[in-house]
Structure 1
Amino acid sequence: MTVTDIVLVLFIVALLAYAFYDEFIMPRRNGETLLAVPLLRRGRVDAFIFAGLLAILIYNNVMSQGALLTTWLLCVLALMAFYLFWIRAPKIIFKSHGFFFANIWIEYNRIKEMNLSEDGVLVIQLEQRRLLVRVKNIDDLEKIYKIMVKTQ
């Protein structure tokens, strides 16, 4: 096993751990889930660039008759990228004392101000940071509002 294969295995394990955490562990942390709202995906261009680079690496490895293990590891990495970029949907998860946004736990008492922009983006102002919540379905903003009013 070469250094390249070891690095690929480490990346695959890290992506699997992240996917497992995001899908199974995070919704169970910090109490019962009151509301989970799907968000709009961002960074489609980045996903296509990453997939294109992986395709180039797989092609080069096959054409130069590289190690079969490396080809398989690159294919597994491509499958993980496909899952993370196209199948998995980002979401905001509301709990009784806070919410998860971009896999970060935020307590409700950290919220200083909330605004709704004209294009349907919920802007949550924290102490030193501003969160832009772009929901997939505009009707979910009302559900978020009800949860925020109920929990605070």
Structure 2
Amino acid sequence: MDIFQTWRSPLILFAAVGCAVSGGIFYAFSTFVMQALGEQPSASGIATMQSINITVINPLFMAAFFLPAVASLILAIAALRDWSNPNSSYLLIGSLLYLIGTIGVTIAGNIPLNDALAVVNPSSNEGFTLWTKFLKDWTLWNHVRTIAGMLASICFAIAR
């Protein structure tokens, strides 16, 4: 028996749960965290987001964010290798949703915005101007990550 066949169901379950957890984290930011930060004076909101962007880089979050990506990559390869399996399309779609819609969007959309915010003085006029744009743009990209994570989870659940 192929080692993937032994680990197929647990890996799909892990990917489904992992994508849902990531989507849930992003959902919280999209539905109330960013709104709460936006209601603060800009200097306070900026300083808090700067702190969040530093503290999020920790082993627990990184594992919750990147381990589903590893599982997605493995499942995408497996889906392409066994395309005749009726669930392969769900595995591939779920994998692409997570890899592109969550990881890719984070790298191309959210991180550059975080990097720009990291170097601004929260009390400056530049900070105020950047913060107004940041709230809108960052939250938009975060909505994409939320939806992608949740849809990926659904695809993996169907494929299971």
TM-score, with length taken from structure 2: 0.40
| Bigger fraction of residues in strand | 1
Structure number with larger C-alpha Rg: 1
TM-score, with length taken from structure 1: 0.41
Higher RCO (CA-CA < 8 Å; seq separation 6+): 2
